[in-house]
Copies of this chain bind each other. A is one copy, B any other.
Amino acid sequence: MSYKSYRYEGLKKLCNTVFEKFGFNKEDSEYITDVLLLADLFGIESHGIQRLSLYYKLIKSGMVEINSEIKIIKETPISAVIDARQSIGQIAGRKAMNMAIEKAKNVGIGIVVVNNSNHYGIAGYYARMAEKEGLLGISMTNSGAITVPTFGKEAMMGSNPIAISMPASPYPFLMDMSTSIITMGKVEVYNKKNQELPIGWTINSAGEDTSNAKEVLYNLSNKKGGGIVPLGGSKEITGGHKGYGFALTVELFTGILSGGLTGNYVHTQDISGTCHSFIAIDYGIFGDKKAIEKNFSEYLNEIRASEKAEGKQRIYIHGEKEIESYEDKIRNGIPVNDNTLKEIDEICKYFDIKLEP
């Protein structure tokens, strides 16, 4: 598979136009584009513009409602429950994290859970919304079941990412990771590249190790069994039960607390039913904010400066690879693989628009 680089501005213009053609208003279109392309800028190809065709399908099939009115079901000074009414995840996500941020600024903590939503892009986007406001931000989402519990062979939980962001310098802390050992997006990228998956990531319908990305994708979408193993692997000895526990924690904070669907029901009906949660904490409730940020930054710098493993020049803190990638790609363009380009081409033809190089 080959790549061709496109300027960020060109991809942004294209995405904005596509989302407007889908029927979103200008502001919403720009917001969805912003979430999508941040993934590409961060180097998370699996969650970037390659998702455009998925959104295209979801919208065409009616799973995503275009001008759905998001509804607050329940609210307290520190919390809210939102029914996204099948809106695209980014729109519900923005509203929910903004509410959590406002609540945190008022009372110290805000926690907003969302049900009946759709794919919302990278969880890190929302955690970072809080970080940019000088708060500690957390976001989680469930998704259609792809993760197999320890000792099981049936996917019962989503990829269930947890993202956490906190101000620090020279880089903010930003971790954003699935509680499955890898994401579905990564399996899709391997499939598009016709590459074999490393052994230890996925199991087939018989519950055995497999490196066949196509087979895993087929089995998952047809509920034939197998799927992706949790962080820690398929066995207790390597800590698979821990990743499985984190995956359940995400289901608890999304599908369960929001009164929505758990991963094993997401995407099995006509609606998606994805659920999210958004937490913002004003760490000023614990002490002087500047002092807390300084201590945190110093600690992270001590880790960066600690002794390296053989052959390694650098120890990374979560978020710095992404921010370096961001700066690079804004300057030098975003590489898009030819399979994704084919999909974009189809959408362009349908709407009679053009992707500028």
Contact = CB atoms under 8 A, between A and B. Distances in A.
A259 B286 contact: yes
A286 B74 contact: yes
A151 B207 contact: no
Contacts of A175: 242, 245, 248-249
A26 B315 CA distance: 48
Contacts of A78: 78, 107-109, 285
A299 B295 CA distance: 41
B153 A81 contact: no
Contacts of A108: 76, 78-79
A294 B303 CA distance: 44
Interface stretch (A10-18, A35-43, A232-240, A322-330): A232-240
Interface stretch (A187-195, A214-222, A250-258, A341-349): A250-258
B306 A245 contact: no
Contact of A256 (B79, B281, B285, B299): B299
5 contacts: A76-B108, A149-B315, A156-B303, A239-B243, A248-B318
Given A78-B78, A81-B286, A256-B299, 17 more contacts: A78-B107, A107-B107, A151-B316, A152-B303, A153-B309, A166-B252, A198-B237, A207-B309, A225-B307, A232-B243, A234-B309, A244-B318, A246-B246, A248-B303, A251-B299, A256-B296, A259-B295
